[in-house]
């Protein structure tokens, strides 16, 4: 990284990425647009937590898989430190695979039930040739488990079924951590875990960011936990960015009608704040409008222009963009990269206090 940090390319970048699935030239069936021209980046040097939120079908998992290099975009590109991920080969790809670590949704399916939990920790260590000696590796494993709040003596040597869902998911966080990544991508890491155990997992993810300086991409449908752990949020609707910016701004004062609908629908754990009876139009499962704003068919404020043109990203405040014609008095965002308006933590945290190997 250069000294001023601004000239360095972003750590991870999605540039004008579109992903289509299915469709047929023979039957004329149009493909499904899972992601539609998304531009988004994770800057180098100022680690933060970014939430990518949306309902089923919003494209959030497609985006996650693209960021991990599991699938390639149909158009556009995914770059890691300025290099196209889909063109990486050999040691470069191994390096990328090591620096961007996933944590998946289901802590039950990520394990082979016949192996002890040590297996998920030692396999990546072996593949990436971590540790100079056995004892060095053991120290690293213990350290990673301790960071996520697990006692190595009580965890290692056990079979997956002997651990709770929360513990299993924290071993997965430790596994990601073991490789000392720059970015952790967590895809719904707590949606299958009991409420009382969610807190500890989210806390360990927050710690990775605050104390170890790892950037986190938190993919979720749950705006409450997104609000709690993230600095910034990107709200996706049918593969496009509806709204993005500082989480305080977007969740506390949503400006896109879709974000408003989402926030109003959150079941708040407070009986004095019951849901309103605000009517909900339409259903996400129906095919969206072919032209214009993708939310036009459900929007309570729909105007003629919404059905004719796709709204650009407007920037009503310095730390927020939203793609809605209701904001057309505001300036159009100068950059398609929604991360350009993000509030980032002020100081750069050193990446791992110890030396990286």
Partner 1 sequence: MTTAPPAGAAPRSTDAGAALTIEDLKVYYDTPEGVVKAVDGVSFTLKQGERLALVGESGSGKSTLAMALMRLTKPPGRIAGGHIYTGDVDLVALDQREMRMRRLDDIALVPQGAMNSLNPVMRVDDQIMDGIVDHIPDGQKPPPKAEMRERVRSLLGRVGLAPHVARMFPHELSGGMKQRVAMAISISLDPKVIVADEPTSALDVVVQRQIMQTLGRLQEGLDAAVILIGHDMGLIAQFADRIGVMYAGKLVELGPVQHIFQDPLHPYTRLLIDSLPTLERKKDFVGIPGLPPALLNLPDGCVFHPRCPRFMSGKCDIESPGLLDARPGRTVSCHLYTEAHR
Q: Is 106 in the site for partner 1 (CB under 8 A)?
A: no
Residue whose pair of structure tokens reads 């057309």 in the numeric block: 328
Q: Which is nearer to partner 1, 264 or 291 (by Cβ)?
A: 264
Taking the complex as a whole, how short is the minimal distance between the CB of residue 18 and partner 1, in angstroms? Answer: 23
Cβ proximity to partner 1, 10 vs 245, nearer residue: 245
Site string for partner 1, 298-317 (x = CB under 8 A): --------------------
Which region, judged by CB under 8 A, interacts with partner 1, from 30-38, 176-184, 274-282, 335-343? Answer: 274-282
Of 43, 36, 61, give the one whose Cα is nearest residue 219: 61
Q: Which of 201, 178, 203, 142 is nearest to 352 (CA)?
A: 178
Q: Are 19 and 35 in contact (CB under 8 A)?
A: yes
How far apart CA 55 and CA 29 sit, in angstroms, is: 24
Report yes or no: 32 and 21 within 8 Å, Cβ to Cβ. Answer: yes
CA angle, residues 97, 99, 104, in degrees to nearest 5: 70
User: Edge-to-edge strands of the sheet including 314-317?
Assistant: 100-103, 183-187, 215-220, 49-53, 232-237, 240-246, 320-322, 314-317, 331-332
Q: Is position 346 an interface residue for partner 1 (rule: CB under 8 A)?
A: no
Task: Write out the DSSP string of 40-64.
Answer: EEE-SSS--EEEEE--TTSSHHHHH
Among 200, 209, 232, 240, binds partner 1 (CB under 8 A): 200
Among 37, 55, 99, 142, binds partner 1 (CB under 8 A): 55
The answer to whether residue 194 forms part of the interface with partner 1 (CB under 8 A) is yes
# binding residues, partner 1 (CB under 8 A): 42
Q: Which two tokens stand for residue 349?
A: 């945290």
By CB under 8 A, tell whether 262 contacts partner 1: yes
Nearest distance from C-beta of residue 281 to partner 1, angstroms: 10
Residues forming beta bridges with residue 344, ordered by sequence position: none
Query: What count of other Cβ atoms lies within 10 Å of the Cβ of residue 84?
Result: 12
Whose Cβ is closer to partner 1: residue 17's or residue 251's? Answer: 251
CA pair distance 108, 253, nearest whole angstrom: 37
Please, which of residues 233-252 interact with partner 1 by CB under 8 A? 251-252
The single residue among 6, 134, 274, 353 that binds partner 1, judged by CB under 8 A, is 274
Q: Does 199 bind partner 1 (CB under 8 A)?
A: yes
Residue from 266, 344, 348, 351 in contact with partner 1 (CB under 8 A): 266
Among 8, 20, 71, 197, binds partner 1 (CB under 8 A): 197
Choices 38-46, 201-209, 305-313, 314-322; region in contact with partner 1 by CB under 8 A: 201-209
Pairwise CA distance, residues 70 & 91, whole Å: 17
Contact window for partner 1 (CB under 8 A) among 80-88, 124-132, 171-179, 188-196: 188-196
> Which residues sit at the interface with partner 1, rule CB under 8 A?
55-56, 164-167, 194-200, 202-203, 206, 221, 223-225, 227-228, 251-252, 261-263, 265-272, 274-275, 277, 280, 283-285
């Amino acid at each position: 990284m250069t000294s001023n940090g601004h000239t360095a390319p972003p750590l991870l970048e999605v540039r004008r990425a579109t992903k289509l699935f299915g469709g047929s030239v023979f039957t004329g069936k149009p493909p499904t647009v899972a992601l539609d021209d998304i531009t988004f980046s994770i800057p180098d040097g100022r680690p933060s937590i970014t939430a990518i939120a949306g309902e089923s079908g919003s494209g959030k998992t497609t985006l996650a898989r693209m960021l991990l290099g599991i699938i390639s975009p149909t158009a556009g590109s995914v770059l890691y430190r300025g290099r196209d991920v889909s063109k990486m080969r050999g040691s470069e790809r191994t390096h990328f695979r090591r620096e961007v670590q996933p944590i998946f949704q289901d802590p039950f399916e990520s394990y082979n039930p016949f192996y002890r939990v040590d297996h998920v920790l030692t396999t990546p260590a072996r593949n990436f040739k971590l540790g100079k000696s056995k004892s060095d590796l053991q120290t690293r494993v213990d350290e990673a488990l301790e960071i996520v709040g697990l006692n190595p003596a009580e965890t290692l040597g056990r079979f997956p079924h002997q651990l709770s869902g929360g513990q299993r998911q924290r071993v997965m966080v430790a596994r990601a951590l073991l490789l000392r990544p720059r970015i952790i991508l967590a895809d719904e890491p707590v949606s299958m875990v009991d409420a009382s155990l969610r807190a500890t997992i989210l806390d360990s993810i927050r710690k990775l960011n605050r104390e170890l300086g790892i950037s986190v991409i938190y993919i979720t449908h749950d705006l409450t936990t997104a609000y709690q752990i993230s600095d910034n949020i990107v709200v996706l609707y049918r593969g496009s960015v509806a709204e993005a910016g500082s989480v305080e701004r977007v969740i506390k004062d949503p400006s896109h009608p879709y974000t408003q609908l989402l926030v109003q629908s959150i079941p708040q754990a407070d009986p004095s704040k019951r849901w309103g009876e605000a009517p909900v139009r339409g259903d996400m499962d129906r095919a969206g409008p072919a032209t214009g704003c993708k939310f036009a068919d459900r929007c309570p404020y729909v105007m003629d222009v919404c059905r004719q043109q796709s709204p650009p990203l407007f920037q009503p405040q310095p730390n927020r963009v939203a793609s809605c014609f209701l904001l057309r008095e505001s300036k159009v965002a100068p950059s398609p990269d929604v991360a350009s308006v993000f509030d980032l933590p002020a100081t750069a945290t050193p990446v791992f206090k110890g030396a990286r190997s």
